[in-house]
Chains A and B, each alone.
Chain A
């Protein structure tokens, strides 16, 4: 599913305390691409991701994914849209503590009429040996793998990742990025990855750099580097 953003604007607060977070963001993404949204803290990248994900609303502008235009959707439609097309991964894993790894992924599978084969996915995630453990019995990296599994098991058109390696160490971060890359290859999901880590732009098909609520750079990366080879 292609994604198109047109002149997205978003501000918080009112009067003197009004702060414009997004100031006319426009870009397009091809289905199956990995897009890295780069930018320093406060540049508006998470807000933009939330708007694409339909969990926040733009003041103006439009987000079109395939045939769907988000701003015209009711809350119920939005919920269905997220259910059918999107997967979310956050910096904090937000797993359900008293469900096992497998069951946490099943929570995602439940949302789809046609989920990915569970066992195969768990093996792909490298969690087979841990599938019956609860989140507090596994490492942070394994928890994030579980969170990714939960997001992609429903085979979403777009996987939205907000600083997915923000709480992880270097090696674990690379493992997670490699996993995201694998998921992108294997299942064809479009990936939008929000990060402030400049090195990650090398693994992207498209790089969009935000600064002060505006797109500073938007280019296609012709020399992609596999995540496993990234250095920072």
Chain B
């Protein structure tokens, strides 16, 4: 009687292989599961957040844009504008200060556009009640029911809200970064809004297209047409002081409004701001950031999976080397290459698949909320609902399995492509090496070390790849905080003065410390705001000898401007008005160390000539002390060091935890890669280590002979990774920062690379401690048995 055909019995090895190397596979499994869980949690949270964010546009009736006029629009003007197939909505606001110097942008409760999502509590119902942004409340430890003083009057916080037109709390659209600690939007009742003084009042109008089916491009084109109509209709009424118009024009980039000559009723340059939804950082920044984070996390996962896949593959290749004769026998008996390939690839793929499943469960349960909270900690997003994402599942399950499968197929397939006879003879070299590499006449230990390096060169290449990748993450995590600290220190060091006054009216001061200057905003070809300073030739605040040489259209550029756009002395730059086509060409005459902002400097005389101002025009004062004799109502704003470092503070606040996680994660990869590969080298040389012990070497000596090569390669890998990593990060940093408004000077703390190397060496010694225990356990009998 003949037996029936069975399943491939080799598959019975799989659970036994797993059991045999359980520790190693558990480490790999956990690492993969946690990484996938982390990324899956992020993708789920991100996908759900993006969906919530996208849905918010229709759910909360979000504007297609808004504009601010110097004067309140007349009914006729509104009618004319609405004839352009848009619906207008008054969104007047007043910027107010709290007693702890925060800026609160107060609105009436909104009923038509940009509706609020109440996150906690309720909307105000009477005077004395206020709701603020949820994130601002969190950052300022404000709870529902707490008191809050705005414009000297105490309010009760009755709720927190998310306003989707302020998902990123940009005070001004030209700001480099939002600031959810020092700035908030707030809602009060209509009566309460009236009760506030009119200081800081802005006539803001939001619009929505009647046709919401237009594409983004069509909307942008429509917005350009609309701007002209708004511009023409913006000054059909007069209900505002001259000073406010002057100030608003200055701040919004409409110079030339000589207030003595300005005819408020003429309709001349009345538009302070015009921002379509697509250009509104407060709306768009969040969506764009979430989208780019998504891509970054995906690639982060894929790179880790590729590194792990190679670790799996090298491990499998090592097993194949050890089982060469058995493989040869099986091949000789008729097993095909593909049958063996499937066998050797199965376990890594099963582990990846299992890790992906567990990772996804963790992602949807444990990691989802911390990831969502990461966004909630940065942005003022509305209420979040988890959405099952097939896309996230594919990216965190199917793709990792495919990557592992493909890499295994590549490496293991290549290893198995040798002939049965080569396996039987353990002749596993693809290319015959005629003789051993000749080594110089150095000590035995050094030669031994070199032999181990040569024997395991492909393993060390993988070790370097893993360390390089993890170093990148490490450097990203460790360099960020010093970069911001350095920026803040530089800003402090290079600040022009302690108090930079921008005035609404040209008022004089008797303070001898004060120095007049002028400021204006243009934009470059990429639409980035460039501040233009006109300073006095003998300025005691701006130490710029070369400014005297800057005549005609020659200007001095801030170092950040030069750095960001790769400009050099002698280059020409062209800047333009924000809302019209006027252009200004300047020649770069020199560089001034002023990292706080992208700006150009010229003499005050030159400034006034360039912008057709009166010769005695100025727009503010530099001063190192408060100017007590200037009335508060004449001051538009006072820029202090805090304002210049707001971006760095916000970045530090919102990203600090993420970068700390990067650090931890990279250390785990260091440990994993060093452990897996060093162990592999030990396993490969078990027989030799056993033989060394028989010869009389102690465990320590035998271990050192093999592990020293790994130590050398680890240290070299970390040093090289540090150097290359910093260079790579610099390239990425420049690309990233060019996409942002503004500039943060690239800086690497002097301890950055040394810290990486020390951390790496520390990881090595931790791994070495574990490996030495394994080496101690290698019995001497290994060298005496099973020798073919």
Knowing A98-B17, A116-B2, the reply to whether A107 touches B334 (Cβ < 8 A) is: no
Q: Are B3 and A117 in contact (CB under 8 A)?
A: yes
Q: Mark A144-185, 1 if CB is under 8 A from B, else 0.
A: 000100110010000000000000000000000000000000
When the two chains form the complex, which single residue of B328, B329, B334 contacts A79, counting CB atoms closer than 8 Å? Answer: B334
Binds A, one of B6-14, B149-157, B242-250, B697-705: B6-14
Q: Are B332 and A111 in contact (CB under 8 A)?
A: no
Contact of B762 with A by CB under 8 A: no
Contact of A110 with B by CB under 8 A: yes
Q: Are A94 and B334 in contact (CB under 8 A)?
A: no
- Chain B residues, Cβ within 8 Å of A109: 3, 5-6, 9
Contact of A106 with B by CB under 8 A: yes
Residue of B nearest to A118 (CB): B3
- Chain B residues, Cβ within 8 Å of A53: 332
B16-70: which residues lie under 8 A (CB-CB) from chain A? 16-17, 20
Q: Are A96 and B333 in contact (CB under 8 A)?
A: no
Q: Are A79 and B421 in contact (CB under 8 A)?
A: no
Contact of B419 with A by CB under 8 A: yes
B639-690: which residues lie under 8 A (CB-CB) from chain A? none
Q: Are B13 and A99 in contact (CB under 8 A)?
A: yes
Contact of A58 with B by CB under 8 A: no
Contact of B331 with A by CB under 8 A: yes
Knowing A55-B421, A90-B424, A92-B325, the reply to whether A98 touches B334 (Cβ < 8 A) is: no
- Chain A residues, Cβ within 8 Å of B335: 79, 83, 111
CA distance A83 to B340 in the complex (A): 14
Knowing A88-B329, A88-B332, A92-B325, the reply to whether A99 touches B2 (Cβ < 8 A) is: no
Residue of B nearest to A107 (CB): B9
Q: Mark B775-788, 1 if CB is under 8 A from A, else 0.
A: 00000000000001
Q: Are A82 and B6 in contact (CB under 8 A)?
A: no
Q: Are A111 and B333 in contact (CB under 8 A)?
A: yes
When the two chains form the complex, which single residue of A50, A55, A76, A94 contacts B325, counting CB atoms closer than 8 Å? Answer: A94
CA distance A55 to B329 in the complex (A): 10
**Chain A's nearest CB lies how many Å from the CB of B255?**
81
Contact of A95 with B by CB under 8 A: yes
Q: Mark A99-113, 1 if CB is under 8 A from B, else 0.
A: 100010011111111
Q: Are A92 and B334 in contact (CB under 8 A)?
A: no
A53-84: which residues lie under 8 A (CB-CB) from chain B? 53, 55-56, 76, 79-80, 82-84
**Chain A's nearest CB lies how many Å from the CB of B667?**
34
Knowing A90-B329, A115-B2, the reply to whether A103 touches B336 (Cβ < 8 A) is: no
**Chain B's nearest CB lies how many Å from the CB of A141?**
15
A11-64: which residues lie under 8 A (CB-CB) from chain B? 50, 53, 55-56
**Chain A's nearest CB lies how many Å from the CB of B6?**
6
Knowing A55-B421, A111-B333, A150-B333, the reply to whether A99 touches B9 (Cβ < 8 A) is: yes
Contact of A114 with B by CB under 8 A: yes
CA distance A56 to B332 in the complex (A): 10
When the two chains form the complex, which single residue of A50, A113, A151 contacts B5, counting CB atoms closer than 8 Å? Answer: A113
- Chain B residues, Cβ within 8 Å of A213: none
**Chain A's nearest CB lies how many Å from the CB of B675?**
23
CA distance A99 to B334 in the complex (A): 19
Contact of A209 with B by CB under 8 A: no
- Chain A residues, Cβ within 8 Å of B13: 96, 98-99
Contact of B722 with A by CB under 8 A: no
**Chain B's nearest CB lies how many Å from the CB of A107?**
5
CA distance A147 to B333 in the complex (A): 11
Residue of B nearest to A53 (CB): B332
Contact of B330 with A by CB under 8 A: yes
Q: What's the interface size class on B, roughly?
A: 20 to 34
Q: Are B6 and A106 in contact (CB under 8 A)?
A: yes
CA distance A115 to B330 in the complex (A): 16
Q: Are A82 and B333 in contact (CB under 8 A)?
A: yes
**Chain A's nearest CB lies how many Å from the CB of B784?**
14
- Chain A residues, Cβ within 8 Å of B419: 55
- Chain B residues, Cβ within 8 Å of A191: none
Q: Are A80 and B334 in contact (CB under 8 A)?
A: yes
Contact of A86 with B by CB under 8 A: yes
Q: Mark A115-153, 1 if CB is under 8 A from B, else 0.
A: 111100000000000000000000000000001001100
- Chain B residues, Cβ within 8 Å of A80: 334
- Chain A residues, Cβ within 8 Å of B10: 96, 99, 107, 110
Contact of B1 with A by CB under 8 A: yes
Residue of A nearest to B17 (CB): A98
**Chain A's nearest CB lies how many Å from the CB of B89?**
74
Residue of A nearest to B335 (CB): A111
Residue of A nearest to B330 (CB): A107
Q: Are A94 and B9 in contact (CB under 8 A)?
A: no
Q: Are B329 and A103 in contact (CB under 8 A)?
A: no
Residue of A nearest to B1 (CB): A117
CA distance A199 to B337 in the complex (A): 38
- Chain B residues, Cβ within 8 Å of A83: 333-336
Knowing A55-B421, A96-B13, A117-B1, the reply to whether A88 touches B333 (Cβ < 8 A) is: yes
Contact of B420 with A by CB under 8 A: yes
Q: Are B3 and A116 in contact (CB under 8 A)?
A: yes
Contact of B326 with A by CB under 8 A: yes
Q: Are A84 and B332 in contact (CB under 8 A)?
A: no
B424-447: which residues lie under 8 A (CB-CB) from chain A? 424
**Chain A's nearest CB lies how many Å from the CB of B782?**
12
- Chain A residues, Cβ within 8 Å of B332: 53, 55, 82, 86, 88
When the two chains form the complex, which single residue of B8, B16, B329, B333 contacts A98, counting CB atoms closer than 8 Å? Answer: B16
Knowing A55-B332, A80-B334, the reply to whether A95 touches B326 (Cβ < 8 A) is: yes
**Chain A's nearest CB lies how many Å from the CB of B335?**
7
Q: Are B16 and A110 in contact (CB under 8 A)?
A: no
- Chain B residues, Cβ within 8 Å of A90: 325, 329, 424
When the two chains form the complex, which single residue of B3, B333, B420, B424 contacts A151, counting CB atoms closer than 8 Å? Answer: B333
Q: Are B8 and A110 in contact (CB under 8 A)?
A: yes
Q: Are A55 and B420 in contact (CB under 8 A)?
A: yes
**Chain A's nearest CB lies how many Å from the CB of B687?**
15
CA distance A50 to B329 in the complex (A): 12
Knowing A55-B332, A92-B788, the reply to whether A106 touches B421 (Cβ < 8 A) is: no
**Chain B's nearest CB lies how many Å from the CB of A139?**
12
- Chain B residues, Cβ within 8 Å of A106: 6, 9
Q: Are A111 and B325 in contact (CB under 8 A)?
A: no
CA distance A70 to B60 in the complex (A): 78
**Chain A's nearest CB lies how many Å from the CB of B418?**
11
When the two chains form the complex, which single residue of B9, B17, B424 contacts A110, counting CB atoms closer than 8 Å? Answer: B9
- Chain A residues, Cβ within 8 Å of B334: 79-80, 82-84, 86, 111, 154
Q: Are A96 and B20 in contact (CB under 8 A)?
A: no
- Chain A residues, Cβ within 8 Å of B5: 109-110, 112-113, 115
- Chain A residues, Cβ within 8 Å of B326: 94-96
Q: Are A87 and B333 in contact (CB under 8 A)?
A: yes
- Chain B residues, Cβ within 8 Å of A92: 325, 788
Q: Are A94 and B2 in contact (CB under 8 A)?
A: no
CA distance A55 to B424 in the complex (A): 10
**Chain B's nearest CB lies how many Å from the CB of A121?**
9
**Chain A's nearest CB lies how many Å from the CB of B275?**
68
- Chain A residues, Cβ within 8 Å of B2: 114-117
CA distance A210 to B332 in the complex (A): 23
- Chain A residues, Cβ within 8 Å of B420: 55
CA distance A55 to B421 in the complex (A): 6
User: Which of A94, A113, A116, A150 has the largest count of B CB atoms less than 10 A from its CB?
Assistant: A94
CA distance A82 to B329 in the complex (A): 11
CA distance A99 to B424 in the complex (A): 20
Which 10 residue pairs of A and B lie closest in terms of their CB atoms, listed nearest first? A83-B334, A106-B9, A94-B329, A98-B16, A92-B788, A82-B334, A55-B420, A94-B326, A94-B325, A88-B332
Of the A-B pairs whose beta carbons lie under 8 Å apart in the complex, a sample of 5, sorted by A's number, is A94-B424, A96-B10, A109-B3, A110-B8, A111-B334
Known: A88-B329, A110-B5. 8 other contacts (CB 8 A): A76-B336, A83-B335, A98-B17, A107-B330, A111-B335, A115-B3, A147-B329, A150-B333
Tell me the A residues contacting B by CB distance below 8 Å.
50, 53, 55-56, 76, 79-80, 82-84, 86-88, 90-92, 94-96, 98-99, 103, 106-118, 147, 150-151, 154
